[in-house]
Amino acid sequence: MRLKTAILDSLAEEIVKYKVYPSDNEVEEVAEALVSSHPCLKEPGSATGYGGWKVSLKYKLANYRRKLKRLGCPEVELNSLTNKPVDKCTPAYGVKKPRRAQVNYCPTYPSGESAETLEKIRENLLLDVRKRNNEDTLAAMMEKTFAHRRQEVIRDAPLIADYKTRWPALFCVRELTAEFKRITTVSLLSKFFSKLDAHSSKLMRVSGKKGGVQG
């Protein structure tokens, strides 16, 4: 029993480095990989040999998330029952998870900062965005308030118009590309141009069929 607990603890700790809320299929893949790598752990009498491991791992992850919530993990806090509608207050309802490539889905606040201090910086941004030749100052403030924006997007899902009113500094090329990189760790322009190059021949053919001068 101690060995099984140690294995489950290690697996859960490793999984949450990548996803706090893995899907059912992903948990099954981990359980399958476990018994595949260590045949001695295969469950006798089980159709798959890892069904019990899968169930135990799901319970272990649920317990691990409770620990993360006590430690103030924002992604777990946003998915807690206290943040769900009263008539749909179940753990499985509306779980907010990162989409593909969202590496920094729900980051924690910078050390020494809180929702209140970051909101104050946001209010100052509304004034600083009107100043000329202020790009570097804006960039530093936008970097610092990144976690505040992400939690706002995930928790409230605001309309674009409302979001633009609250964060006008975000809606320029420099800050949009910076925000994309903060979330995905990928350069937006490099990604865009690489995809454009990959499809350039098809785009040229489509353009040629429509007539006119290419270029």
Q: What is the pLDDT of residues 118-154, one digit of tens each?
A: 999 999 999 999 999 999 999 999 999 999 999 999 8
Instruction: Work out the pLDDT band at 5, boundaries 50, 70, 90.
Output: very high
Please tell me whether residues 82 and 6 are part of one structural domain. yes
pTM for this one?
0.66
Hey, what are 9's tokens? 């603890």
pLDDT for the residue 161: 95
pLDDT category at 174 given cuts 50, 70, 90 is: very high
My answer on whether 132 and 177 are in the same domain is yes
Read off the pLDDT band of 200 (50, 70, 90).
confident
The answer, yes or no, to whether residue 108 has pLDDT greater than 70, is: yes
**Cβ proximity of 87 and 38 under 8 Å:** no
- Asked if residue 99 belongs to a domain, the reply is no
Give dist(CA 84, CA 178) in Å, integer.
Answer: 31
Q: Are residues 82 and 136 in the same domain?
A: no
Domain assignment present for 166: yes
pLDDT at residue 87 tops 70: no
Identify whether residues 77 and 132 lie together within a single domain.
no
Averaged over 102-121, what is the pLDDT? 91
Q: Is the CA virtual torsion 120, 122, 126, 128 positive or negative? A: positive
How crowded is the C-beta side of 136, counted as CA atoms within 13 Å?
A: 1
Domain range for 171 is 115-184
**Residue 105, domain member (yes or no):** no
Digit-coded pLDDT (tens) for 7-58: 999 999 999 888 888 889 999 999 999 999 999 999 988 889 999 999 999 9
Tokens of 154: 């995930």
